[in-house]
Structure 1
Amino acid sequence: MVEVILNSGQANLGDLKRSIDWDAVASHLDALYSAADGLEKLFPGRKFTLDGHLVGSIGEVVAAYVFDLTLNPGSTQGHDAKSTDGRKVEIKLTQGRSVAIRHEPEHLIVLQRPKGGPMRVVFNGPGSCAWKAAGRMQRNGQRPISLNKLSKLNETVDESCRIPMRRAIPV
């Protein structure tokens, strides 16, 4: 069991500390992927992609654990977390080949967890370089960027500009 700190968003409650069983988290994630695969087999031609709040929240709690981030309350506009040195951090998790960003983040962490595979860090660096490299603004207000492009950008990020990993990715 390990601890992850989640900001409750209510000043009188302070930070909530909970022990997390990461083996159980991995098991639940595998069950979600299995359910999506099962639905796709039952309904050929339909995609049952895990996305939205579900995947976003998974990415946020994993990044908080790995990088010692303090999470903002859920659905906070702007950034998902704050680093120990005060940087505002946007967190993205995908099982696909791209992510989309709505604004230029101060710092961006992008994670990927392919079906059945372990999660990995694709990008950990200043949000400005990812924002500049992202595609045109779409009608939904988001700018897409491929994981391939982010991975190449990640290779150019100076180590001093990264948020240090404090722990291995547990799932």
Structure 2
Amino acid sequence: MDKNIQELLSIIEKLKNEFNTGRDKEYIRNFTLDGKLVGDIGEVLAEEHYRISLLPASEEQYDAETEFGKKVQIKTTMKNNLNFPRDNVPELYLGIKVSTEGENIGDIIEIFNGPGKLIRDKLTNRKTPNERFYTITITRLAEWNKEVQKEEKVQLRNGKSVFYL
């Protein structure tokens, strides 16, 4: 087996052990290597940095909820686009980018943090996608993020910080 693959699998195993120890079965994240891996990484990093609790992995539209019971959909990228659902409007949408380079590797960059309605309203004149999601550049989402009031955002945990685009 390729050394890099072994190392990746070893890291995934460590992630499972670190983040799943002591969690009930329905809250476990599998860090599956099928495209869900980036999402799983983003969810556990978001829970570590923001005042949210992850919902069971089987939850369809939402990934977490705030301490005030608001539902949060978390979308994560390591590239330059994020997806927004076509068929529903998330109560809160947390779009993050995970840094994959240099000394900031693994850091969170907050792209959008606020009501999903704000994004949906911006998409009203946009052509409806054939897929289940709209694809939006992180630059555009970061611009829209400037319109969100502080009290509408998912709050950071005490002592935690993120970068902003």
Query: What's the offset of the Cα at 1:5?
Result: 9.7
Corresponding residue for residue 40 of structure 1:
none
1:108 pairs with 2:99: no
Alignment of 1:48-127 (within 5 A): 52-102=35-85, 103-116=88-101, 117=105, 118-127=107-116
SS in 1 for 2:142: helix
Which runs of 5 or more structure 2 residues have no equivalent in the other structure? Answer: 1-17
Normalised by the size of structure 1, how large is the TM-score? 0.66
Q: What residue in structure 1 maps to residue 24 of structure 2? A: 8
Farther off after superposition, 144-153 or 66-75: 66-75
Match of 1:150 in 2: 141
1:168 aligns with 2:161: yes
In structure 2, C-alpha distance between the alignment counterparts of 1:126 and 1:89, rounded to whole Å: 9
Write the distance in 1 (CA, Å) between the matches of 2:38 and 2:75: 9
Over aligned residues, Cα RMSD in angstroms? Answer: 2.9
In the alignment, structure 1 segments of 5+ residues that lack a partner are 17-49
Name the CA distance, whole Å, in 1 between partners of 2:97 and 2:34: 12
SS of match in other structure, 2:139: helix
Whole-angstrom CA distance in 2 between matches of 1:4 and 1:164: 23
Identity %: 26
TM-score, normalization: structure 2? 0.68
Change (3 A) 1:3 1:144: closer
